[in-house]
Structures are given as C-alpha cells and as structure tokens.
Chain A
Amino acid sequence: MKDTVTLVMIVKNESANLGTCLASVEEQVDEIIIVDTGSTDNTLEIAGKYTDKIFTYPWDGNFSAARNYAIGKAKGDWLLSLDADEVLLSKPGQLKKLVSKSKKIDAYMLPLLYPISEKTGEYNQFLILRLFRNKKEYRFEGAIHEQVIVHHHEVVDIATELMIQHNTVSPQERNHKRGRNLVALKKAYWVAPQNYFLQYYLGIEWLGLAKPKLALPFLQNAYHHLTDDHLLFRAPALRYLLICLHHLDRFDEMICLSLEAALRYPEYTDIYYLGGIALEEKKEYRIAIKWFDQARQCRIPPAIYSHMNGTGSYLALYHMGFCYEKLGLTDPAKDCYEQALQENERYHYPAGNLFLLLLKEGSPRSTLAYLQEKAYLNNPRLALTIANLFFMAGYPSLAAACLVECSTTSEKDDEFLFQLGLYHIYSGRFPGGLQYLKQITKESDFFTTAQTHQAMALLLMGRFKTCRSLCLQMWKNKSTRSTAKVILSLTRSLQKGLDLAATCNEMATSLNLLNFCYHYLPDHLDQKSYYSQLINILESCLLRTTPGGNQVLVDYYHDKVNNLRELFAYKFGNGDSKV
C-alpha cells in the first residue's frame, strides 16, 4: 500500500473530546498512534475502541519530546498530528487523495478554524503544519507551541480542502492553558531572547489574558523582525498588533500601521477591517465605510494570511451599517445590517441595530411586519433575539408573534420554550404560556425562572391554590426560596384584598416581580386579571413594610423615566424641544 497515513496524538484526560476527534478521522487514516501522558480518567478506554497502539510517556513538561515519541511509533508514510479537542473536516477519501497528489511535496499546511463564539459563528483561521511525510528530519521542536520545522519551502504546500476545527474553549479553560503556556514561554524567552516566534507567542498569550500593555512590545518585535519568509507568523503578528493597539485606544497608530500594511499586503482583508475599526473609533465614519468596503471586496484572503472569519463579510457589514447610522443615513445602514444577517445568520447583533432603526422609523407593529416579510423570524436564533427585543420594549404579544411562526418548523429547545411561554403569559394568554413553561425540565438552566413566571401567571389568573402549591415546591429549593416567600405573601394579600398583614421584606425579589408585572400587556382589552391589584400590593409592600423600599421605588420610576427619555431622544432626535 502506498501513501499510508498515521494519526499521531498525545493526550491527557481527554475523555470528553477524544471520541469525537477520533470518529472524525478514523476512516481517513491507516493507523492511529496515541501517546498518553498520564490520564486519570477513562481516556485510554475510549482510545481503545479505535486503536490498539496506545503508549504511555511520562510527562516531562516538553510537548515536542512527547510528540516525537509518538512519531517514533508510527509506520505510515505520512503523519497527521491532531489534538483531542480538534476534529478533521473532510470528505471520505480526501486525505488520501491529497497525500498521493504530488511526489515533490513533503508537508501540507492546513487551515485551523479556531472558534471565538459558538453562538455567533465567529472564528479565527490560521494555517498550521500538521500533515507531513514520515521522515527523520521532520520532528517537532520547541517545548511549547511546538511545531514541525520543514526547512525547504518548496516542499511545503497549502491545502484548503481539509480543515481542522478546534472545539470551543470555555474562558476558564482557555485562561488556564494560557497561564500554563506563559510560564513555559517565559522560561524559553530567557534562554533565547532573539527568538521572535517566541515573542509572537508571548504577545498572543498576554493579549489573550487581557494585558495588551504587556503584549504590545512582543507583538511589535515579532512584526518588525519576522520577515515575509515567515508570513505565516508575520501576518497574525500584524493582525494581533492591530488588535492590541485597539485595546490600548491607540487609534492613530492603528491607522498608520494599517495604511502601511495595506500597501504591502493588499489582499489582506483583516487589515482593512481593523483599519476601518480604528477610523470608526475616531468618528471618521465616511472613510471607515470605504475601508470596510475594501475589506468586503477582499473577502477571504489567501490562506497564508491568518484571518478572522467575517472581517470580509458580516463583521465589515455590521460596522459599515453602524457608520452609516452615525452619519444619519438610515437606508444604507439598514441594508448593511440586513446583508450582514444574510451572510451569517448566527451572528445576531445586527438584528438589534436593525430592530431599533425600524422601531425609530415606524411602529412596533410595522417593525414586526417588516421582519416577518423578510423571513428573519424563520431562523430560531434570530427570532429569539428579536422576540426578546420586543419583550424588553414592552410588547409581549409581538414578542410571542415572533416565535409562534418559527415554532412550527423548528424543534423546541428549552430556551425557545421558555421565551414562548413567557411571552404568552405576559400577553395574557395564560393557559398556553403555562403549557410551554411546564415542558421545561428540572435539568434546564431556565427551570427556576420558568417556575417564577408560572407562579406570576397563576397569580394574575387568580388561581391562588395552584400558585401556593407551586410556591411550596419552590420553597424547597434554596435558590428560589425568597421568590417563593414573596409570592406566597402576595397570594395571601390578593385573596384577602389589600390586607397588608403579609409582610415581605425581600426588597430585591419584590422589585424584580414588580418589574415582571410591568411587562404585562394583554392582547385582549377585556382580559380579566389581578394585574392592578398585584402592582398595588407589590408597591405597598415595598413602601410600607420594607425598610428603604420607598427610596428604591422612587429610584425605580426615576430609571423608567430616564430610559423612556433616552428612547424618546433616539426616536425623535433631541431637537430643541424639551419634554
């Protein structure tokens, strides 16, 4: 058999990820070598389902050594190196096809997609050398950020048909890794202060830990001293340098650097995007728009440039929209937001801006009609975002309408059920609302809040008995105890009229409930409910029996006035008229 491929991995406590990783690549490789550096979970058990070539290597703080040990066990002609928190994105047979394509090529760089947020679909894209011939001279180097070094450029090619997708990393996990990396990198830096690759990595780690001041000198050194021979590093160094300057509010330098770099790397999308961001910060909206437009024209840069996805499409559009809005050009602003939504449905932020623009121009109803017509509400994620905006603006029945249409097509996750239930209740459709909320299981994050809203619905409906038994359930749970207490006293007060024997001194909870009440706006004007009484009781509770309650209420209405004034100013402009 010619051109066999061996997957080589080093692992430690990867039971959560390993299965997915191996499943993604199992069919594509001929051999799997797994080197464990000291797992204490069932990592080895999972690995055993895929291969019998499992070795252990005592951890000595050196990634390269461990990897090279794994390579030493491999029999294939080619080596593919993956981490357990990555998966290979490829079609069946694609990997084999690639390695047998050319005799002259010894190594391929593959795009690594590194997610920023699962929810919005944003990710960074780098090139990384992970596929190479099994030759003695190709070994990992560097204790950390270990890389395979191939000295002859002509035998390295870029393959974009295969991609490596990194898992989403929780912020805690990421920071933990960063801290660990930093220790090792600092050590290495003392030994080799002229190693600009090291400086590049140091810069990135500091930046990742939100220390742009510390990151800056390293990134500057890396960018200035690395040459185009190492564009693979120089390009991200430039990109991170710009981002670092952004964090430091050094916009003028950002603009200068972008201008200079754009001449040198005219295809590099991210430069135009980041330059646009700097101009936007400087309120040079017209010029910023030109830069964002340039980014859009570049779209995805050649793979050699480290690239953040979206800078050539939806991110640039989102910022263009913002600039147009600042210039008072609402029509083009709307177009930009809408295009941004089309290019990445998961990136929902433009929906918020679009919503506000529509609301400014028209009414809540016309806004809903527009969004419906444009089919934005068919996308559950967007529908949820928009529904929430309607709800916050005080229109629960419109919020419900956003979800109702989309609820027929998509399967309902618990967030969807929760919101649907919420909006039904606050638009006076109690039975439906209760139905939805009841479907949310104990395991869900939304469970306790759903309980609170169910109790509110029962109160509004006057189903005091049911409400009480729900509250007793909530009482058992520590996190909902105070809510249960307040609602129980509300139940008593409602039943006995305005008798304030019920004392509740849970200020935060009462205020919270009062706030919920203010979202209530039933569809049907003749809807019977205990709404007025509820508000009156909550208010008297806060006023009479809660120490300091009156000041809290005064502040509460004061905030309401201010929020409304802000909305008013946004909608009608300040003019020279005062309210």
Chain B
Amino acid sequence: MGNRISLCMIVKNEESNIRRCLASVRDVVDEIIIVDTGSQDITPQIALELGAKVYHFSWNDSFSDARNLSLSKATGEWILFLDADEELTTESKKVLLQLTSEENVEGYFTRIINYIGKDGWTETCPDLVFRLFRNKPEYRFRGAIHEQIADVILEKNKQATYRVAEGVIILHYGYLDSQIDQKDKKKRNLTIIQKELAADSENNLLKYHYGIELYRAERYQEAAEVLIQVANHTDPNTIYFAKLLRYIVLSYHSAGQPAKSLEVIGLGLQFFPDYADLHYYGGLNHLTQKQYAKAAEFFSQAIALPEQPAQYASFAGVRGFRSLYHLGEIAESFLNYEEALHYYLASLRDNPNFQPALERIIVILEPRKNPDYTRECLEKVLDLGSPQAKLILSNIFFNQKAYQLALEFLEPTDGTASAPPEILLRKAFCLVQQKRFLESLILLGEFTPDSPMYLLAKFNELFCFWVQGKKRKVQVIAEELGDLGLAEDTDNIVKLLLKSQEKRKTVRRIFLGQDGVDLLLDLIGRLLDLNEPEKANELYKRVVPDCLVNRQWDIIQLYHRYGYFERTVELLKEYLTTNRNGDAHFLLAESYQELGNFVEAEQHYRYAIEQDSDQPRYFIGQIRLYESWRRKIAEESPAEEQHGEEDLP
C-alpha cells in the first residue's frame, strides 16, 4: 500500500490566508485539491500558482457536498483535510509521514490549537479534530456544517481503528475576533445548522454543534438548554463528552447562573475528576457568588492537576496563569497584598505575555510612591530590554500616575528624533508632573500647527505655565487657543484656568459638560500629584456643583489616592448625605483611621458592613482598626507594665 497524501480543502475568499496554509504543507503532501465555493478575490489564482488543482463548486449551503467533491478528486491513499485559515506546524511533517505508513489505522485525531481573542491579545485553546484518514470512496462527509466523517467511516467499516496523532499539530486562526467579524461566521453557521436540524431533529451530534454555535453567538441560556438535552442522550464514553460538559458549564456561567453551572461541574467531576477546566470554572462561579474560600479551593485544585489529556481540549492557562491570577485577585480582596503578589508573579512566570497579572503587580507595588523599588522588583521577573515591553510598562505606569517611571521607560536608548508625536506628548505630560517644566516646554515647542496633536500640545503648554503661576504666558496661549477654535468644553476649561488666576472673591461659576468634567478631573488629579491641593480646590470651587454630582465619587477617590485625608473626609461626609453605600463608608473609615480618629472610623466600618457585608475588606479594615487600637493602648501603658507585650501577635 502506498502512503501518498492528498491535501483537500474548500475555500472562499481566502487570499489573505491561503499562502500560509499551503506553504506549511509543502514537501509533505503529494497533491493539493482545492474546491473553490465562489471566491471573488484571487484565492484560486494563488492556489494554482502554488501547484494546487483547483475545482469550482456552486454553493448549495452544504459544506459536506463541497468537501466530498474535493475527496472525489483526490488520488492519494490518505486525505489530509485543512481549512485555509489553518496551518501545519513544521514539527508535524515528519510525524505525518510516519503515521501514514501505519497499517491498521483508518484515521487519526490530531491536535488543533485555536487562536482566539483580539489581535495582539491572543490566547490559545487546544482541541482535537479528525483530519487525517484513508482515502476510500465510501468515506464521505455528512452534515451541512460541522461536517463529520469519523462516524461515517465507523459505520462503513466496523473494524476501523483510530488513534490520536500526538505529534501533528494544526494551528487555527479562524476564531480570532478579526477573522470572525470578517466572516460573520457565527450567524452564517447558525442559520445553516438550524435548517439542517429542522430536517433531522433527532441528530444528537448536530444538536451538539448547534448548542456550541448558540454559545458562540452569545445566546447562552439557549445554548445551555440545548446542550443539556444533548448530554442526556450522549454516552459518557464519547470522545467529546468532556468538552460537552465544559460548554454547558460555560453557558450557564455566561448566562449568569453560577448555581446551575456549579451543579453541572459537580456532576462533571464525577466523570472527570482531573478535568482542570471544570475546577477552573468552578472557581469562577464561586467567585461570582462571592464565596471566596471555595473559589480559592477550586483554583488551587486546578493548578495541582497533571497535564490534561487531548480530549479534554483544556483551555490554556487553567492549570497555570489564569487560576493563579484569580488566586491573586482573591488575596487582594482580602487585602493580603503579599500573597496576591506571589500569585500574580507566578501567573506572569507561567505566561510572560499575560498582561492583567503584570498590571496588578504594578498596582500593588505602588510605583508612584516607590519608583525605585518597583523597578527593582520588575527587573527581577521581567526582561525589560525590548522596546515593546518598555512601552507596555510605560503605559501601565502612566495609568498608575507613576510619571517618573512612565518617563523613564519612554526614554529611548538612542536619539529622540524618531519618536512619534503621541510619545512626545506623553513625555511632556510626565515632565510637567515631575516639575521639569523647561524640558517639557521644549518638547511641546516641537509641535507645529499642522500636527494633529498641536491643540493638545498647546493646552499642555498652557497648563505648564498656569502651574508656575505665569499669568501673562497663560493669557497669550489662551488667546492663541481661542483663535484655533476650541470645543465648547475645552474652551470653558481654558476660561476656568484664566479666571482662577484672578484673585476675585466672588466669581460666577462655570458650567461644564461631560468632556469638560473629564478634563477638569484630569487636571485636579495632576494638581494633587503636583502637591498643589489649593490650586485644585481653586478650580473645583469655580465649577457649578451640579455638573460634578455624578463624578463626586471619582473626585473623592482622587483626594484619597493622593493622601489628602481631611479633604476626603469632608467630601465623603457630604457625599454620604445623598449616597449611602458600603464603599463610601469604608473609604471614610479608612480616611478617619489614617487621621487617627479611631472612634469615627469604627462606626463607619460598621456602617459599611451594614450596607454590604460581602466585602471581606470591610471586615479586615475593622479588624485592623481594633488591632491598631489595641497597640496604641499597649504603647500608652506605663513603662513597668510593658513587659509581656512581646508575645502579643
């Protein structure tokens, strides 16, 4: 028996993918059969160019018919089936040749790695598919979509045996958001499958795929219901049973029914106790229910599990960075930052590209307060050398208002000339916050009126002078900005800055729209960062209070973040007269504690818990208060009674 391989594909408008695909099978397959189902681009030409035999098929809503046309043209002893948005890994080639010389196998399941998510933010999701089988005329695809052939072969040949082709890996890019949007794949699939189900309502496998399509179309509740029906009619030994359970779990979870999801997880774990994904989603569900201890238990179990068998199609990271990340989150909600850091670092070590973990690490390190320490810590775990890494870090630092570090990570290793304008502007921004006004002004001066960022640059220039109290300069720039024609809100902010320079007692307050308030909050934040609370108050006072009502909470957080606790208390007391919620009471309690007013702090922790007692941090805040209180009293004790204090925890 020979072992020639025919690659079969069906394609439509795949000009951007097909080269990659065909290049990956060069030197492996002996012929390439391509059935085009109506491309309007140059897909067929590229295929011909790369040595394929191209056939045309007029589309009839059946993928199977199209695929079977390609099978009928194949002359090799083996068929390898790929989609244009897939490719074969280089390592697969050798293995493939070995596999096709096996005598007693009719077909192979191969691993497929699905790339999902956004561009530049991809994640992988491995799975198992049936793509390599003997070429026999009776082996033909069935089903309009999610076309199946494995079961057909078994029907035709009861003795047929399958194996898992461990070394063969297909990479699939079709689930990337960009590709899905492009093709409107979800909707197309759903319509076709519904038609098919109408004709064949008892087909369990078809229903399974229908459920999955419903899930992909974000119709979670329906998906869960359909998939539950499927599960009730599926033998647990079926190869996709584990995956089916996971989809049910996911559907309920996404449909906002954590209790039901957990129920299915409980059942699922009886069949597959070592299925990491079930543990992982168990953790997520408990987390939605704010059952922190149980959630932590599930995530820890997920981490402890061994390598997952292929048919579990285990989602990348459930045994690693994902579960670790959530454990970090849980520790954080218990205000245990040390432990949180430990988990986030472990998460990042498992997947250095997992940005959420990096972000949390940086937040915990408090880069604004401890720039040197933060840098030191990050150097230990990350390679900070690459420009890309630097940019990412700089962004995070900037968002954390750690302007010194943001600036450092923006400094290019070579000359500044090539920096894009966004970077220049950001640098100027950071320099102002570092009170390096002159350097900032030099950078800002480089923007010419034809730059799309000219306006922003000018505005920053104005702010830079305003902070320094250079009234004349501010006046001049304001006029220039006025000539450029500003949006109403920006114009109002400029007016606000101008007016605040005049030391008049009575002022007419300025009304700001949405954008104006955003800008104002930004400025208040920058002023507090510059340790200019009076200037911030000046601005705040000159705005009509009504337009700040909805942003009061943000303003309070700004003052709290920068350590102006007295002002925070003042604002919070006012805020609480109209908005009573746990977070506000908690923040007030924390601020009082900072100010050493334990009595008030104690009451507000109790108010916070009365409002919402699902927040561990409220309780922890209160516990810590009592601890500080006890310590304070112990310290006030007369000296002779101090011994014995040592053994207090």
Cβ contacts under 8 Å, A576 to chain B: 296, 300
A578 to chain B, nearest CB (A): 6
Contacts A532-B600, A573-B292; is A553 near B633 (CB within 8 Å)?
A: yes
Give A556-579 interface residues, CB cut-off 8 Å to B: 557-558, 560-561, 564-565, 567-568, 571-579
The reply to whether A568 and B616 form a contact with Cβ atoms under 8 Å apart is yes
The reply to whether B609 and A364 form a contact with Cβ atoms under 8 Å apart is yes
The reply to whether A573 and B291 form a contact with Cβ atoms under 8 Å apart is yes
Contacts A557-B630, A572-B292; is A395 near B610 (CB within 8 Å)?
A: yes
- B573 interface hit (Cβ, 8 Å): yes
Chain A, residues 519-549, CB within 8 Å of chain B (1/0): the string is: 0110001100001100110010001000000
Nearest B residue (CB) for A331:
B259
B602 to chain A, nearest CB (A): 7
The reply to whether B603 and A577 form a contact with Cβ atoms under 8 Å apart is no
Residue with the greatest number of chain B CB neighbours at <10 A, chosen from A525, A526, A536:
A525
A575 to B292, CA, bound (A): 7
The reply to whether B330 and A568 form a contact with Cβ atoms under 8 Å apart is no
A531 to B604, CA, bound (A): 13
A395 to B607, CA, bound (A): 9
The reply to whether B630 and A573 form a contact with Cβ atoms under 8 Å apart is no
- B606 interface hit (Cβ, 8 Å): yes
Contacts A572-B292, A573-B293; is A579 near B336 (CB within 8 Å)?
A: yes
- B619 interface hit (Cβ, 8 Å): yes
- A394 interface hit (Cβ, 8 Å): yes
A551 to B648, CA, bound (A): 12
- A363 interface hit (Cβ, 8 Å): yes
Q: Which one, B14-22, B230-238, B634-642, is touching chain A?
A: B634-642
Cβ contacts under 8 Å, A561 to chain B: 623, 626-627, 630
- B620 interface hit (Cβ, 8 Å): yes
The reply to whether B633 and A560 form a contact with Cβ atoms under 8 Å apart is no
The reply to whether B641 and A568 form a contact with Cβ atoms under 8 Å apart is no
Cβ contacts under 8 Å, A536 to chain B: 599
The B contact surface, by secondary structure, is helix
Cβ contacts under 8 Å, A560 to chain B: 626
Give B549-594 interface residues, CB cut-off 8 Å to A: 573, 576-577, 580
Q: Which of A520, A558, A564 contacts B619 (CB 8 A)?
A: A564
Q: Which of B600, B602, B613, B619 contacts A362 (CB 8 A)?
A: B613
- B614 interface hit (Cβ, 8 Å): yes
Nearest B residue (CB) for A556:
B630
The reply to whether A554 and B633 form a contact with Cβ atoms under 8 Å apart is yes
A551 to B599, CA, bound (A): 20
Q: Which of B291, B580, B623, B633 contacts A579 (CB 8 A)?
A: B623
Nearest A residue (CB) for B340:
A577
- B339 interface hit (Cβ, 8 Å): yes
A518 to B625, CA, bound (A): 14
A525 to B609, CA, bound (A): 15
B167 to chain A, nearest CB (A): 39
Cβ contacts under 8 Å, A554 to chain B: 630, 633-634, 637, 648
The reply to whether B641 and A551 form a contact with Cβ atoms under 8 Å apart is yes
Q: Which of A526, A543, A551, A575 contacts B330 (CB 8 A)?
A: A575
Contacts A363-B614, A557-B633, A561-B627; is A577 near B292 (CB within 8 Å)?
A: yes
Cβ contacts under 8 Å, B627 to chain A: 557, 561
The reply to whether A577 and B610 form a contact with Cβ atoms under 8 Å apart is no
Nearest A residue (CB) for B573:
A525
Cβ contacts under 8 Å, A571 to chain B: 613, 619
- A359 interface hit (Cβ, 8 Å): yes
A561 to B292, CA, bound (A): 21
A249 to chain B, nearest CB (A): 31
A394 to B292, CA, bound (A): 24
Residue with the greatest number of chain B CB neighbours at <10 A, chosen from A553, A568, A577, A578:
A577
The reply to whether A535 and B292 form a contact with Cβ atoms under 8 Å apart is no
B9 to chain A, nearest CB (A): 51
The reply to whether A532 and B613 form a contact with Cβ atoms under 8 Å apart is no
A418 to chain B, nearest CB (A): 23
Nearest B residue (CB) for A548:
B641
The reply to whether A532 and B626 form a contact with Cβ atoms under 8 Å apart is no
A531 to B599, CA, bound (A): 8
A372 to B620, CA, bound (A): 29
Q: Which of A363, A551, A578 contacts B613 (CB 8 A)?
A: A363
Cβ contacts under 8 Å, B641 to chain A: 550-551
Contacts A531-B599, A532-B599, A579-B334; is A521 near B633 (CB within 8 Å)?
A: no
- B331 interface hit (Cβ, 8 Å): yes
Cβ contacts under 8 Å, A578 to chain B: 336, 339
Cβ contacts under 8 Å, B151 to chain A: none
Give A383-413 interface residues, CB cut-off 8 Å to B: 394-395, 398
Cβ contacts under 8 Å, B294 to chain A: 573
The reply to whether A565 and B623 form a contact with Cβ atoms under 8 Å apart is yes
The reply to whether A364 and B613 form a contact with Cβ atoms under 8 Å apart is yes
Contacts A525-B573, A536-B599, A543-B633; is A572 near B613 (CB within 8 Å)?
A: no
B363 to chain A, nearest CB (A): 18
The reply to whether B626 and A577 form a contact with Cβ atoms under 8 Å apart is no
- B611 interface hit (Cβ, 8 Å): yes
Cβ contacts under 8 Å, A557 to chain B: 626-627, 629-630, 633
Cβ contacts under 8 Å, B626 to chain A: 557, 560-561, 564
Residue with the greatest number of chain B CB neighbours at <10 A, chosen from A363, A526, A575:
A575
- A365 interface hit (Cβ, 8 Å): yes
Cβ contacts under 8 Å, B296 to chain A: 575-577
- B612 interface hit (Cβ, 8 Å): yes
A543 to B626, CA, bound (A): 16
Cβ contacts under 8 Å, B599 to chain A: 531-532, 535-536
B164 to chain A, nearest CB (A): 37
Nearest A residue (CB) for B334:
A577
A569 to B486, CA, bound (A): 57
Contacts A557-B629, A572-B292; is A363 near B619 (CB within 8 Å)?
A: no
A359 to B610, CA, bound (A): 10
Nearest B residue (CB) for A576:
B296
Cβ contacts under 8 Å, B609 to chain A: 363-364, 394
A542 to chain B, nearest CB (A): 9
A92 to B3, CA, bound (A): 104
A398 to B622, CA, bound (A): 20
Cβ contacts under 8 Å, A575 to chain B: 292-293, 296-297, 330, 334
Contacts A535-B599, A572-B293; is A543 near B336 (CB within 8 Å)?
A: no
Cβ contacts under 8 Å, B612 to chain A: 363
The reply to whether A550 and B633 form a contact with Cβ atoms under 8 Å apart is yes
A352 to B599, CA, bound (A): 29
A551 to B291, CA, bound (A): 37
Nearest A residue (CB) for B630:
A557
Q: Which of B339, B614, B633 contacts A577 (CB 8 A)?
A: B339
Cβ contacts under 8 Å, B600 to chain A: 532
A348 to chain B, nearest CB (A): 23
A464 to chain B, nearest CB (A): 20
Cβ contacts under 8 Å, B630 to chain A: 553-554, 557-558, 561
A410 to B233, CA, bound (A): 59
Nearest A residue (CB) for B622:
A564
Nearest A residue (CB) for B290:
A572
Nearest B residue (CB) for A560:
B626
A577 to B339, CA, bound (A): 8
Nearest B residue (CB) for A531:
B599
The reply to whether B334 and A365 form a contact with Cβ atoms under 8 Å apart is no
Q: Which of B334, B623, B637 contacts A550 (CB 8 A)?
A: B637
Nearest B residue (CB) for A558:
B630
Given A550-B636, A551-B637, A554-B648, 11 new contacts (CB under 8 A):
A363-B611, A394-B606, A395-B610, A521-B603, A525-B580, A557-B630, A572-B292, A573-B294, A575-B292, A577-B296, A577-B336
A-B contact pairs, 8 of them (CB 8 A): A395-B606, A539-B633, A543-B636, A553-B630, A557-B627, A557-B629, A574-B293, A579-B335
Task: Please list the 4 inter-chain residue pairs (A to B) with the smallest Cβ-Cβ separation, ordered nearest first.
Answer: A573-B293, A575-B293, A557-B630, A577-B334
Which residues of A are at the interface with B, using a C-beta cutoff of 8 A?
359, 362-365, 394-395, 398, 518, 520-521, 525-526, 531-532, 535-536, 539, 543, 550-551, 553-554, 557-558, 560-561, 564-565, 567-568, 571-579
